[in-house]
């Protein structure tokens, strides 16, 4: 264990910035100046790619900057993918090759190079976690990507990160956990109205799209979990027919109702994403084989038709409406009905669904009974399939929560539904009758209503129809429709029978184009952050950091709790201090150790470097990996500060000046206040030279004073860590 004299702690801390307030530089990379990032659509992004006005790397940098600036307040993103920049670079390279090799004859696809955020229940076989917002699954390892993720990767999309959610889809304790809260991310906030309900459970996916923290996202829905948060955060949410998109690799609730769908700022973006993820999947055989018959030849984008409302019959089911801000929403709804009429639709008004009180109540319609048994069975199956996991059953999760009650806030929010679910014993006669009841209510309700009135779709304000769509596995799409007197968004929801996505797309797209109601949230103004300086920040490129540790916030929360529980005198001086380590120092976590080279990307180390173990035991936070001169200059005549993985590191004082190396990223990052302290390595000048050139303190210890264990070597008789 590393021993530190607290009286001389300030002497021991390495690489401290001398002048903290000097930074006023605005380094800018070329390209992207003519592109408007905020509210950019997929079509606009692809056009900018084609015209060489934008790169995927620049787009990713913009969204990561948005996340860094807005997420501390909105809390809608749990993790940023440390490989997102690399994926963007690969997309840019593929685009260049296509342009060179076939003169642009082949299209790379609508999502190629576009960042996508995933709900934290959708498995990714990479450095990201899949946890349903719970610490119980932190560190679990999935066997492979979810099928929808495989399809995104095959299309060249960039996996930007994992979105927050209502923990365990609210199912840990129905009615007690606030919408948008999870233990790992805290309470997510509606970007339009801080006191407003963000809804859930796909809260983070919706908030992040609304606040321009990502282009598009994927959510999941069992009962309103796409449609409701999309409605409340003024974005488009598309809930597909159950089985149209594969659920393989997604943490389940009730498989007969679970579905994966797009969340976006426009209908067209949602459709492009839907086209990519639909289709048969042998890993989700029964549901996807049944729904595959609904997929039209040529996909769904052909239904993005501005005349899509002509001849359509839309039903208004009045007995579904509730009283949320009727004074604002109902007049707006009536106005929108007139717009639908003017666009060619026939409105069949004042319809009623029989037994609507039963249908809208999960305790009466059979849904809760089915969920309680279905969740236990399906989540146990999911957990058993994991390569490794701290928990292997619902019972294990309950025990984890009890043991970590403060971490999971059990006292306030409980886990009553989990406990009730654990007491079930599979799908028996009671559960089968519950499913039969839902099927009967659907046949006698929405199906009978739509058939009798020859409807193409239903139209309702807000989220009134979600229960109807949930128990039948029906599709729905919500489109921004306005804002109430407090500024809280609401949408128009179009619902239909199974497989009617083409009609829903035509109706929703035409309505959207006729109204264009959506506006970006006022959040950027409230925090004094404009698109202009967002662009400056997104394009400034010191290239001092290769990866940010996805566990950093979790580690910070952990040491904060330790500080509250322990006497200050018992804590070492590095306790709670974020430290960046050079990318040749091993960390046994989600980060790479590559010496800046793609040759080692994805390699796995058996343990932390000895110096990292000492830092962790002292309570330091490993913030990420710093860039460097690739292979410590030993590869060949590369410039100081350059490596393949991150490009050319820049001196923060004079951008054209030599940053020196090889510990360039470690010193640049401290000088630019990107980290409190860092660790570098030296064989011949690799700490002292970049420290001098970047105006910080660097200490090169006597060789052997610090362990080289777990550090990529150059010459062990000269190597030292400092």
- 8 A C-beta contact, residue 343 and residue 391: no
Maximum distance among all Cα pairs of the chain, rounded to whole angstroms: 86
Residue of 29, 305, 300, 260 whose CA lies nearest to 150: 260
* CA 554 distance to own-chain centroid: 16
Using CA atoms, how far apart are residues 116 and 591, in angstroms rounded to an integer?
21
Task: Pick the catalytic residue from 119, 239, 376, 590.
Answer: 119
Decide if 119 is catalytic.
Answer: yes
Using CA atoms, how far apart are residues 275 and 269, in angstroms rounded to an integer?
10
Cα torsion 297, 302, 307, 313 to 10°: value is 40
Task: Pick the catalytic residue from 201, 246, 264, 627.
Answer: 201
Using CA atoms, how far apart are residues 230 and 345, in angstroms rounded to an integer?
24
**Which tokens sit at 328?**
């604002």
The tokens 């110096």 sit on which residue? Answer: 611
Using CA atoms, how far apart are residues 197 and 179, in angstroms rounded to an integer?
7
How many CB atoms are closer than 10 A to CB 24? 5
Using CA atoms, how far apart are residues 250 and 177, in angstroms rounded to an integer?
21
Segment (H or E) for 206:
helix 203-210
Using CA atoms, how far apart are residues 209 and 483, in angstroms rounded to an integer?
17
Residue ranges in 307-457 assigned as alpha helix (H): 326-342, 356-359, 367-384, 394-403, 410-413, 416-422, 429-442, 448-452
The tokens 């210890």 sit on which residue? Answer: 701
| Per-position b or e across 317-337, b if 16+ CB within 10 A of its CB | beebbeebeeebbeebbeebb
Residue of 712, 594, 572 whose CA lies nearest to 2: 572
| Per-position b or e across 276-312, b if 16+ CB within 10 A of its CB | bbbbbbeebeebbeebeebbeeeebeebbeeebbeeb
**Which tokens sit at 508?**
């929703």
**Which tokens sit at 130?**
């899949």
Task: Pick the catalytic residue from 208, 225, 666, 686.
Answer: 225
- 8 A C-beta contact, residue 472 and residue 257: no
Residue of 375, 369, 366, 435 whose CA lies nearest to 254: 375
Using CA atoms, how far apart are residues 687 and 698, in angstroms rounded to an integer?
6
Report the residue count for the chain: 722
Using CA atoms, how far apart are residues 663 and 144, in angstroms rounded to an integer?
35
The DSSP bridge pattern shows strands 647-648 and 642-643 to be antiparallel
Q: Is the peptide bond before 201 cis (omega within 30 degrees of 0)?
A: yes
Residue of 54, 75, 114 whose CA lies nearest to 523: 75
**Which tokens sit at 115?**
């960042």
- The residues carrying an active-site annotation are 119, 201, 225
């Amino acid at each position: 264990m590393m021993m530190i004299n607290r009286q001389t702690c300030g002497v021991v801390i390495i690489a401290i910035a001398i002048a903290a307030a000097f930074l006023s530089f605005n380094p800018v990379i070329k390209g992207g100046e003519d592109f408007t990032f905020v509210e950019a659509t997929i079509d606009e992004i692809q056009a900018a790619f084609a015209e060489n006005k934008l790169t995927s790397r620049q787009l990713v940098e913009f969204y990561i900057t948005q996340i860094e600036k807005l997420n501390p307040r909105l809390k809608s993103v749990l993790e940023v993918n440390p490989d997102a920049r690399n994926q963007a670079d690969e997309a840019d390279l593929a685009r260049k090759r296509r342009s060179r090799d076939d003169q642009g004859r082949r299209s790379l696809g609508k999502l190629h190079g576009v960042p996508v955020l995933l709900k934290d229940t959708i498995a990714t076989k990479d450095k990201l976690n899949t946890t349903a917002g719970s610490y119980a699954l932190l560190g679990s390892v999935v066997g492979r990507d979810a099928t929808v993720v495989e399809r995104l990767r095959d299309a060249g999309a960039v996996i930007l990160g994992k979105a927050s959610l209502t923990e365990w889809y609210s199912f840990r304790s129905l009615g007690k956990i606030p919408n948008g809260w999870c233990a790992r991310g805290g309470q997510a906030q509606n970007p339009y109205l801080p006191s407003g309900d963000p809804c859930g459970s796909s809260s983070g996916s919706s908030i992040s799209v609304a606040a321009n923290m990502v282009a598009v996202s994927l959510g999941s829905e069992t009962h309103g979990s796409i449609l409701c948060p999309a409605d409340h955060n003024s974005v488009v949410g598309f809930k597909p027919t159950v089985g149209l998109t594969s659920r393989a690799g997604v943490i389940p609730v009730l498989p007969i109702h679970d579905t994966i769908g797009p969340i976006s700022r426009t209908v067209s973006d949602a459709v492009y994403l839907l086209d990519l993820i639909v289709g048969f999947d042998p890993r989700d055989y029964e549901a996807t084989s049944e729904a595959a018959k609904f997929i039209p030849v040529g996909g769904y984008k052909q239904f993005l038709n501005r005349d899509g409302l002509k001849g359509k019959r839309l039903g208004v089911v009045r007995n579904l409406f509730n009283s949320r801000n009727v004074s604002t929403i109902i007049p707006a709804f009536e106005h929108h009905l007139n717009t639908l009429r003017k666009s060619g639709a026939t409105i069949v008004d004042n319809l009623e669904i029989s037994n609507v009180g039963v249908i809208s109540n999960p305790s009466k319609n059979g849904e809760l009974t089915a969920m309680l048994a279905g969740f236990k069975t399906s989540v146990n199956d999911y957990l058993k399939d994991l390569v490794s996991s701290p928990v292997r059953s619902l019972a294990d999760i309950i025990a984890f929560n009890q043991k970590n009650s403060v971490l999971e806030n059990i006292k306030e929010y409980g886990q009553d539904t989990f406990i009730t679910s654990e007491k079930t014993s599979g799908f028996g006669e009671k559960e089968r009758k519950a499913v039969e009841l839902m099927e009967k209510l659907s046949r006698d309700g929405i199906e009978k209503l739509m058939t009798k009135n020859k409807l193409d779709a239903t139209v309702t304000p807000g989220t009134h129809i979600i229960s109807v769509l949930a128990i039948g596995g029906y599709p729905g799409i919500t489109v921004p429709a306005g804002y109430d007197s407090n500024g809280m968004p609401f949408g128009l929801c179009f619902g239909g029978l199974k497989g009617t996505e083409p009609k829903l797309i035509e109706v929703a797209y035409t309505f959207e184009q006729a109204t264009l109601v959506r506006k970006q949230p006022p959040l950027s103004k409230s925090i004094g952050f404009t698109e202009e300086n967002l662009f400056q920040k997104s394009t400034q490129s010191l290239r001092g950091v290769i990866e940010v540790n996805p566990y950093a916030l979790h580690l910070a929360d952990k040491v904060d709790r330790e500080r509250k529980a322990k006497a200050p005198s018992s804590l070492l001086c590095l306790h709670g201090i974020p430290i960046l380590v050079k990318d040749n120092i091993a960390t046994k976590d989600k980060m790479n150790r590559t010496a800046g080279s793609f040759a080692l990307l994805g390699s796995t180390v058996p343990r932390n470097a000895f110096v990292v173990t000492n830092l962790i035991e002292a309570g330091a936070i490993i913030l990420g990996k710093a860039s460097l001169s690739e292979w410590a200059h030993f590869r060949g005549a590369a410039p100081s500060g350059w490596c393949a993985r991150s490009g050319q590191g820049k001196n923060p004082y004079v951008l054209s000046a030599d940053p020196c190396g090889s510990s360039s990223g470690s010193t640049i990052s401290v000088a630019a206040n990107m980290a409190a302290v860092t660790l570098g390595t030296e064989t011949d000048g690799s700490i002292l030279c970049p420290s001098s050139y970047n105006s910080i303190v660097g200490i090169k210890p006597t060789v052997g004073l610090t362990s080289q264990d777990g550090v990529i070597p150059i010459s062990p008789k000269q190597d030292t860590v400092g």
